[in-house]
Amino acid sequence: MQYFAAMKAPAAKREFLVLLAGILWLIVGSVLIVAGVSWLEEFNSLAVISVLAATVAGAAIAHFGFSPLARKNLARIYAQAPGKDKVCL
CA angle 79, 81, 82 (to 5 degrees): 70
* Assigned domain for 56 exists: yes
User: What is the per-residue pLDDT for 26?
Assistant: 92
What pLDDT, on a 0 to 100 scale, did the predictor assign at position 4? 65
Domain presence at residue 30: no
CA gap 71, 77 in Å, rounded: 10
Residue 22 lies in a domain: no
Please enumerate in sequence order all residues whose Cβ is within 8 A of that of 27, keeping only pairs 6 or more positions apart, or say none: none
pLDDT tens digit string along 6-50? 667 788 888 898 899 889 989 998 998 888 878 777 766 777 787
Domain coverage including residue 56: 44-82
Is the torsion defined by CA of 14, 16, 22, 28 positive or negative?
negative
pLDDT at residue 68 above 80?
Answer: yes
Q: How many domains does the chain have?
A: 1
pTM for the full model?
A: 0.67
CA 21, CA 15: separation in Å to the nearest integer? 10
